[in-house]
Amino acid sequence: MSTQQVQLAIRSIRHFGVSGRRILEAILNGEKIETDGLRKMVDWRTKASITDIANAINGRIRRHHRDMLRYHWEHMGYLEETIEELEKQIEQLLSPYRKEVELLDGITGVNKAAAATFIAEMGVDMSVFKSAKHLASWAGVSPGNYESAGKKNE
C-alpha cells in the first residue's frame, strides 16, 4: 500500500465517522477485513457502498503501514481530547457571561461559538466604543467608501 493509498484510506475513514473508526481499529489490529465483516462494521447510514469502502482499504498493508496508521490514529485521539479540554475551558470562562451569550446567540447567524469569539475579542463593555459605527469599524465589518465623484481610489 502506498503512502497515497494510506492517506486516501485515512481521509475516507475520517468521513465515515463511527464506521470508519471500526474499520481503522480492525486494520490496526491486523484483522483481515472481508465483505461480510465489513457489512457488520459499517453503519447503515453510510453513503459509500461496501464495494467502495472495500476498494479504499483493499491492498497489502504491511507492518510499517499499520504503524503509520496507528501514529495518525493516536494523534487524532490526542487532538480530540485537547479540543474537548479547550471547549470545557471556554465554557468555564464564559459562565459569568451567560446572559450576553444568550443575547448574542439570539441574533440570526450567530451561534454560541461566534458569541464566545465576540466576547473574547470585544469584551462586554461597549462604552469603550464611541458609537456602533466605531465598533463596526474596529471589528473590520464597516465597508470603506473609496469613491468620490465617480472615481475609485484604491
d(CA 39, CA 42): 5
d(CA 50, CA 38): 7
pTM of the predicted structure, to 2 decimals: 0.60
Tens of pLDDT along the chain (154 residues)?
A: 444 555 555 555 455 577 878 888 888 888 878 888 888 888 888 888 888 888 777 777 788 888 998 998 899 889 888 988 998 999 999 999 999 999 999 999 999 988 998 899 899 999 999 999 898 888 887 776 666 666 766 6
Alpha-helical (H) ranges within the chain are 3-16, 18-28, 35-41, 50-57, 63-94, 98-105, 112-122, 132-139
Instruction: Give the three cell numbers for residue 5.
Output: 493509498
